[in-house]
A and B are shown apart, each in its own frame.
Chain A
């Protein structure tokens, strides 16, 4: 007889380990493919995985194989017009051969394309990167409560009744309460039966017994099927859970000199930063502040797509950041990150002010401040002033982006794992 086994409930991902091995081995190639794709990746689609292709030659498994050529004889089915000794022009089967191989085994493809999940994608994307100064904020974790199951209670609201448990305890109560009367009942019944079999038994005793039996049966019947005493409720308690939260300030210059391409670059940079932060913090607030001569807090749409003209006063945005932090994001509770994107233009007298605000007011409160300058021209005053902050502040960093391709390398530069 055959043994029949249902394997369907078994873990289906038997190949997961092998898949991980594969990704691990080709990390370098996959990372390369990802960093090439990052500048083309659609901005709106940041939640999905990614399709990656790496050169087939890199992942081939070589074995000794026969090549084409030499003398071969093959047998084919379906002869129609050939006779022995016929000569046939060699068909141009190179292409045909190749096409068939590709569909047969996939071996003929030049690129090995496959999908990686969002997590795998992010792992690759942010591999070897870390948030600077993360240690400090772990000391300042916020507590937040979370509802968790905590067994059962005998008291609660009806929605939480646990039916199985309630009925189970009702049953045991009925068994327990009925045990004694039932035992007596059995005794009396046995006695009555014995009496019935006796010839000329004692009639009064018989009646007394019958009455007693009736009373007992009544008692057993009266044991309630379910009692409030039986009810069991699912119990939930609030457990304090340490969480950390972060807020990210996006600062951008929207003066006339910032064109759409520069903003796109900035946007991609912000998206990377956002994705990266969500890996460390479950909730990340984002505050968008744009400025020309005045700063304004706006929503995402307006931040990236509305155009303004006019001059540039960077300090206005920094001041606004400072004020919002004071109002809404006390640094004791929040991990605060800020990133500023600009083409480097600023009203000349304002740059020293920016340096002052950052050094004195902002940087002490921030986990990290990243400044990216997106321009193909030479640096201007703001860059020089900011450069002075580098030495005295380890939570300040600045980088220069010229083109789309620079975004990812620059981003990596910002968050490269600090070697101790």
Chain B
């Protein structure tokens, strides 16, 4: 096996055999912003917008965005979408199987990421699943994860308050963070797991925040706590009284409510002395009723929503997970103001928050400074390529297109499996802290998703995903049931044909010109119009023109897409 230095030498010599095609790219800037390929005014901002608002754009989709971004958001919010068909899943026997690896739900979610026209809803659901993280626990029922995702998707443009309420009440979360059948009755000390994370991760963070996202400090200059251990103690008690009819899941058992809500169990509720949570004292109730359990949960969620820090914390999460790892204080302040009041006096209106995040002046613009943008996580970078290649995933176990699919049919499909190897299986965060931390510095800049760039995940990204270029462009035998989906690539093939028709000169020159134009187009679409350096562009062109010379047009384009995806340029959405 060649070592890295031999690779480099060989690569450099290979790069010398091909002449640079006609459209020369500028050098990488040393200044404060990125150099863009020449294009129509607004196209690159549209490309960026699509990267921020979707799981990935189809070829030409950004260019077709001619109306206002707000109009596009409105249209997306109104689009119907496909919930996971839980009744069908139950009819196929999935309710009888615990699914600790979340195998079935992750297939359903991945299919929706790739296929759904309601892309903004998919993206916002993705964001929500990274803030209010919930994964299967050892005894989770297979369908609860699907019900949870359905609820996140349904409330993606609803109110954040209802999502916090969902976290309190849902069986999936109850199992994950142990609030199911948590018992505070008769002096018992309840588990504090859920109560702590509800405050720390789902709503406030440990530090009180100023409106610009900076930690609030006291007169001595020390950070102010958002809540105290006494609040955790109290909240854990006040949120007891929810559970399952049989205690914990066993195969073959299902919860009572079809939407995944836990049963109310007043016998487990706190019946001790008054407790104080976030400054409000809850009176003692000697014999709590079901209505008391529900009322306490509602009051606690209301108190959390009323904290100024909640609006800032959640807004910052949305900004950093959609637009930039390095938002200005003014950007955070503007969005959190919308979170507090959508203009109609309503707090927590997610539709308004999403619009504020995506249409903010800091998010928009043709060219952005180097510090702008976000390190790309694997789930988004991979699905972006799948969508760009017009992949239609059919491996949705609840789909009528796969009527014969059953538990015994096996799980996953190649791209989904690679995503699992990269540590980002859909709907299955590695912990309640998500797949990567909220803050993570690299070279002096916050880039949380860079924490995912481990050697094994890079191997999976480069090597395993490369292999998809081959497998997903191969035709199937006529009788085969394609559970994965093929790369259609028809739009890029048409663009290729147009570029070829417009080229002139010898066949070699026409090919060089065509491939150069396609590299520029694909790189522009995938990387917000940023230009590759001349050297990198030359490697991309030569790879397709020389190393892929014997391949069919479709395969050439597939390799090109994946090659560009593996460049450092594709690691950051700017």
Tell me whether A and B are bound partners. no
